[in-house]
Amino acid sequence: MSIAAFCGSFDPITKGHLDIIERASKMFEEVYVFILSNSNKNSYFSFEQRMHWLEQACAHLENVHCQVQEGLSVEACKSVNATVLVRGIRNTVDFEYEKNIASMNLLLDESIETICLFTRDEYAHCSSSNVKELLKYGKDISRLVPECVAKEISK
């Protein structure tokens, strides 16, 4: 039985994130989604807000659990006995970035395996950065984020 983890800032959770979570939830017994409490990049939304949306968006997935991440990703994995770290990759720049992170994580803990899912073409532009860029200009973001997020933000 394999347990997987998916770590991120989810600032906010996008349709792209949710798609990866749903796909992982079909492959693994349990999926722990870790949300960084203190991201390096100052977060746009508060931790509480981000966690609230993450939980709402994942509510329909029985084997998905949302948790706070304090330390490194491999430590988060350890804390829930996850042996698989799931990542989404959109393009070659992501690829080079993730390859480095995966090498580092291997160094930290050989028992944790990184796997990559290709971002679905229809979600290629659904990044949190894009959401924030659109919000800055008061634009509609409903096609980028789960319905629950879109509803609350539009208010």
Which residues are catalytic, by number? 17, 41, 90, 128
Calpha distance 21→88 (Å, rounded): 10
* Of residues 56 and 142, the one with the C-beta less far from its own copies: 142
The size of the interface with its own copies (CB under 8 A), counted in residues, is 47
Task: Candidates 41, 91, 147, 151: give the one binding its own copies (CB under 8 A).
Answer: 91
Does 110 contact its own copies by CB under 8 A? no
Calpha distance 7→149 (Å, rounded): 19
Q: How far is the CB of 56 from its own copies (least distance, A)?
A: 23
Q: How far is the CB of 135 from its own copies (least distance, A)?
A: 12
Calpha distance 144→13 (Å, rounded): 9
* Of residues 65 and 120, the one with the C-beta less far from its own copies: 120
**3-class DSSP state of 102:** helix
Residue 46 tokens, joined? 């508060």
